[in-house]
Amino acid sequence: MKERSKVRLILEDGTEYHGKSFGATVAAAGEVVFNTAMTGYPESLTDPSYRGQILCLTYPLVGNYGAPGKSEENDLYRFYESASIHIAGLIVSDYSFEYSHWNASESLDEWISRNNIPGIFGIDTRALTKRIREKGAMLGKIEPEGTEISFYDPNKVNLVAEVSTREKKIYGTGKYRIILVDCGVKYNIIRNLLKRDTTIIRVPWDYDYHQEEYDGLFLSNGPGDPKMCTVTIDNIRRSFENGKPVFGICLGNQLMALASGADTYKLKYGHRSHNQPVIKVGTNKAYITSQNHGFAVDNKTLGKDWDPLFININDQTNEGMKHKTRPFFSTQFHPEASGGPTDTDYLFDEFIENIKNYLQSR
């Protein structure tokens, strides 16, 4: 085994953690966040919502099933959530240099190295996670020995513009035409919609889709502060006027809230895991959900025509909203999972049912 160079993780409060390097031996800066999931690092690393973030995986052993090969279905990579890695850097406790999986084509080390992403292992990720929980999400930087880099705040730039598609793309030939506003969409969202007899028209975040013929509007997940997406918010506000069904996920929930006149705010350290419990408002039904977000909708600012749809059981934050009389709804969590539980994927069926009802009423 080759000798691993020394590397340090520095937080903006001055705290330092020392470990060994894997992946690319380059410096990187961003916002340090943690995810408590036990599996699913290929999906997390390729999730555009992690753009500009240094990701700490709290599960102690990482890398033992390598990195999946690239195979396509419907012009989408089957085992990734986008076409590339989006994290700025990776933090793990114990890195497994041995890997084994039927679909592995290379090691995690080789995969992130090939994509110029630095990793650090051998640090106390429990102590790091505890510090973030107590102090809140912080800027940080990974510096291999002999390198330096300045802190960088990804929340001050429009990350959505970086990860959104640059041109209109069409998937499927199904009955129901859906405009998908790509703010950093995960591929499994597209897969779930395609299963339901749809044609997906994927458009850039700032595209004026009102010129298109469509039956329903989908607002995707994505990175950063939703208030950066002013053009998208204006387009959604216009869409409310035509009454066509709308479904938003994650950032889409926040954008819908802003378009309706409500407000959003930054969470102390966000929700990033596969086991976030939510309850459907007005029922005793609870669901375990996959989540990845650092901002949330302020329930107190929802307008008179809107209600919370789901509430987080841990901290009572907003996990979705719905219009009282029109077919508009959204969730802060990810019903498509990948990775995580699929308990709430029935919400895609509800969206399609809303479209059917809308078309029948015309």
Q: Which residues form the catalytic set?
A: 250, 334, 336
The Cα–Cα gap between 29 and 306 comes to: 39
- Residue among 211, 144, 184, 142 nearest 292 (CA): 184
DSSP annotation string for 88-137: SEEE-SEE-S----TTEEE-HHHHHHHTT-EEEESS-HHHHHHHHHHH--
Contact 214, 201 (CB under 8 A): yes
* Cβ-based burial of 25 (10 A; exposed 0-12, middle 13-18, buried ≥19): middle
How far apart CA 303 and CA 326 sit, in angstroms, is 14
Assigned token pair, 290: 């996959």
Question: Closest by alpha carbon to 293, among 313, 319, 311, 316?
Answer: 319
H/E segment holding residue 55: strand 53-57
